[in-house]
């Protein structure tokens, strides 16, 4: 999981670099082509091949999941370009709190008062980062929050889909539908890319495949809930990359807010594990 967070951070840095030069939809489209090919290759090697991976009794749920994820990725790349890696990830790490808050009304899961308190504290942290009452507040600061909301809905639908579909089926639909959807939109923004930028694009595609492969291997040997806290390390790596490579700044309110969000998220994960115990 730690290795996956490092790879995904490098992917974010490459997305920020390319997104500042080319249309975001173009960058995400090419990235998704490679991702879709990776997903197809994995499905073809699995039991029953592509036909078994594509079989589902809830296609609308799977299609909605895929569209939410590709939308979230596009929004995140825009946020990287507009706000930078540090502030984008500081707000985006609130997505586990959104999942916890929405799991009750959408999935019928029980959320106790302790988790509601943690969710409230986490969103105080988000407000500290966004500074909505400050004169310097920019509406663009809400972009990563929109991405977090999309990713939270994607996570909830993934949980819902898992009641009837296995992980291989959900992964297949994520890559196939997402690749098709972004191509329908992104192909209209095609433009020539400089030769050196194709090297960066190739690295972006490879990092996506490697990151997902590391996650798959991670979940093969451990429960998702056990390793999920380590996913917060991506904020650390993103901050280091943003400060050293992209000359971003680290404001005190971002540090304080991020600490509150991460602490609340870790407590929420811990309470979920406690509730899951027999």
Among 273, 206, 243, CA closest to 84: 243
Least confident stretch, 24-33, 55-64, 266-275: 266-275
Q: What percent of the chain has pLDDT over 90?
A: 50
Count the helices and strands in the chain (H runs, E runs): 13, 0
Grade residue 218 by pLDDT with cuts at 50, 70 and 90: confident
Of residues 278 and 23, more confidently modeled: 23
Least confident stretch, 31-35, 264-268, 274-278: 274-278
Q: How far apart are CA 154 and CA 160, in angstroms?
A: 10
Q: Are 158 and 48 in contact (CB under 8 A)?
A: no
Grade residue 276 by pLDDT with cuts at 50, 70 and 90: low
Please tell me the predicted confidence (pLDDT) of residue 254.
85
Q: Could you report the per-residue pLDDT of 102-145, keeping only the tens digit for each?
A: 887 777 777 777 878 888 888 888 888 877 654 445 778 789 99
The predicted model gives 257-266 an average pLDDT of 87
Please tell me the predicted confidence (pLDDT) of residue 135.
44
Is the predicted pLDDT of residue 271 greater than 80, yes or no?
no
Q: Exposed, middle or buried: residue 67 (CB in 10 Å: 0-12, 13-18, 19+)?
A: middle
The predicted model gives 46-62 an average pLDDT of 91
Grade residue 272 by pLDDT with cuts at 50, 70 and 90: confident
Extents of the domains making up the chain: 2-276
Q: Could you report the per-residue pLDDT of 219-248, keeping only the tens digit for each?
A: 778 776 677 788 888 989 999 999 999 998
Task: State how far Cα 87 lies from the chain centre.
Answer: 15
Q: Are 168 and 43 in contact (CB under 8 A)?
A: yes
């Amino acid at each position: 999981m730690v290795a996956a967070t490092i790879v995904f951070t490098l992917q974010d840095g490459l997305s920020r670099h390319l997104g500042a030069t080319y249309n975001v939809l173009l960058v995400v489209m090419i990235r998704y082509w490679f991702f879709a090919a990776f997903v197809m290759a994995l499905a073809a090697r699995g039991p029953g091949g592509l036909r078994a991976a594509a079989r589902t009794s809830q296609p609308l749920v799977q299609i909605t999941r895929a569209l939410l994820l590709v939308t979230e990725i596009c929004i995140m790349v825009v946020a990287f370009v507009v706000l930078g890696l540090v502030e984008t990830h500081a707000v985006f790490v609130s997505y586990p709190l959104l999942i916890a808050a929405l799991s009750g009304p959408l999935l019928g899961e029980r959320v106790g008062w302790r988790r509601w308190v943690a969710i409230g504290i986490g969103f105080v942290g988000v407000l500290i980062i966004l500074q909505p009452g400050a004169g310097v507040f920019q509406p663009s600061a809400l972009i990563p929050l929109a991405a977090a909301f999309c990713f939270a809905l994607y996570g909830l639908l993934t949980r819902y889909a898992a009641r009837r579909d296995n992980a291989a089926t959900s992964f297949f639909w994520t890559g196939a539908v997402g690749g098709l959807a972004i191509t329908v939109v992104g192909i209209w923004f095609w433009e020539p890319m400089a030769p050196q930028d194709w090297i960066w694009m190739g690295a972006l595609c490879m990092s996506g495949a490697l990151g997902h492969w590391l996650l798959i291997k991670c979940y093969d040997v451990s429960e998702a809930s056990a390793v999920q806290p380590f996913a917060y390390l991506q904020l650390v790596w993103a901050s280091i990359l943003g400060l050293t490579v992209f000359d971003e700044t680290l404001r005190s309110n971002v540090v304080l807010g991020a600490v509150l969000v991460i602490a609340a998220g870790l407590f929420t994960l811990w309470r979920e594990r406690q509730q899951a115990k027999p």
